[in-house]
Structure formats: structure tokens, C-alpha cells
Amino acid sequence: MSLTKSEDWYYEEMRRRAVAMFGEERAQDLEDYLRTTARQIADVEDAEAHPDLEPVVQG
């Protein structure tokens, strides 16, 4: 996912994958969670990380 994707784009992508994994009915149940998670993903992806910054593996 590129840095320029919008929150709505992430939501549509998440929903498409939710339907594929859990079915349409469950995806509908998860609507609020999908919206919230799309916002969180967009927030993370919108941030700049220094190229030398390695991920935390243990806290």
C-alpha cells in the first residue's frame, strides 16, 4: 500500500478482504471496526519513518 492512499481506500481494501475471509454477513457486522482500523492504518502509513529505523521486535 503506497503512502498516498486515503482512509477510504484502506477501508474499501479492508472490506474487500473481510468479505473474502469471513463472508459478507460478517463483514457487515465488522463495519465499525473496519472504519476504525482503516483510519489507524492510514495514520500509520501517512507517517514518515527514517530509512534506518528498524521495527521493534520485543517491546
Partner 1 sequence: MMPEPYEFSVVEAAARIRKGVLSPVALAESLLARIDALDSDLQAWVTIDREAVLAAARHSENDVRSGAPLGPIHGVPVGLKDIFYTAGMLTACGSKVYADFVPDFDATCVAKIKAAGGIILGKAVTTEFATSDPSPTHNPWNLEHTPGGSSSGSSAAVAARMVPAALGSQTGGSTCRPAAYNGIVGLKPTYGRISRYGVVPVSWSLDHVGILTRTVADAALMLQVMSGEDGNDPGSLRLPVPDFSAQMAEHDRPPRIGLVRQYYQDYSTPEIWAHTEAIANQLAEAGAEVEEIPLPDSFARVHSFQRVVMNVDCAAFHEANHRTRAADYGPRIRAGMEMGMLIPTATYLKAQRLRRQFRADLNEMASKVDVVMTPATPAPAPKDLNTTGDAAYQVPWTAAGLPTVVVPTGLSELGMPMAVQFGGPWAEEGRVLGASQWCERVAGLNQGPPNYS
Smallest separation, CB 2 to partner 1 (Å)? 10
Vertex 24 angle, CA 19 and 26, to 5° = 90
Residues that bind partner 1 (CB under 8 A): 1, 14, 17-18, 21-22, 26, 29-30, 33-34, 37, 39-41, 43-45, 47, 49-50, 53-59
Cell of 58: 520485543
Measured from the CB of residue 53, what is the shortest distance to partner 1 in angstroms?
A: 5
Q: How far is the CB of 14 from partner 1 (least distance, A)?
A: 5
Measure Cα distances from 28 to 22, 24, 31, 49, 55 in Å. Answer: 10, 6, 5, 34, 33
